[in-house]
Amino acid sequence: HVQLVESGGGSVQAGGTLRLSCAASGQSYSRYDDWCMAWFRQRPGQEREGLAVIDLGGGAETYIDSVKGRFTISKDNIKNILYLQMNSLKPEDTAMYYCAADPGGGYCRVTRFYFPYWGQGTQVTVS
């Protein structure tokens, strides 16, 4: 079983930056090359949307258009942490942010919606 714990959310002014972290535990990371991991967000009154996805083995990253050039997904395989660097934040980025993981890999692009493991979320507020 995999546990994911997000951190790093908070309140920031428009134009500011935040870095979210997602610590993974509970399953051996020895085959992390198979993992697909992602960041999602859910804005008030809206459905959850995928923002960025990374294939831990090949390192391929995909993003939705609204965050391209502003957000960067990255990984620290030694610490088992997934990051989301968010720059040039806008009020419309206000949302609950979640990380997600699939140790089995599979289709690993930002259009993927289903993941078997999710974190509890961290709130980001941009004013």
Q: Report strand pairing: 95-102 vs 122-126.
A: antiparallel
Q: Is-contact 22 119, C-beta < 8 A? A: yes
Q: Is-contact 84 51, C-beta < 8 A? A: yes
What type of residue sits at position 64?
A: I
Question: In the prediction, which pLDDT does 66 show?
Answer: 95
**Model confidence pLDDT, tens digit, residues 70-85:** 999 999 878 889 999 9
Question: In the prediction, which pLDDT does 31 show?
Answer: 66
Per-residue pLDDT for 96 more than 80?
yes
Question: In the prediction, which pLDDT does 28 show?
Answer: 58
At residue 125 the predicted structure's pLDDT band, cuts being 50, 70 and 90, is: very high
Q: Of 8, 1, 15, which is closest to residue 99 (Cα–Cα)?
A: 8
Question: In the prediction, which pLDDT does 26 show?
Answer: 77
Measure the CA–CA gap between 97 and 4, rounded to whole angstroms.
12
Question: In the prediction, which pLDDT does 30 show?
Answer: 54
Per-residue pLDDT for 104 more than 90?
no
**Model confidence pLDDT, tens digit, residues 1-56:** 889 999 999 999 999 999 999 999 876 555 667 889 999 999 999 999 999 999 98
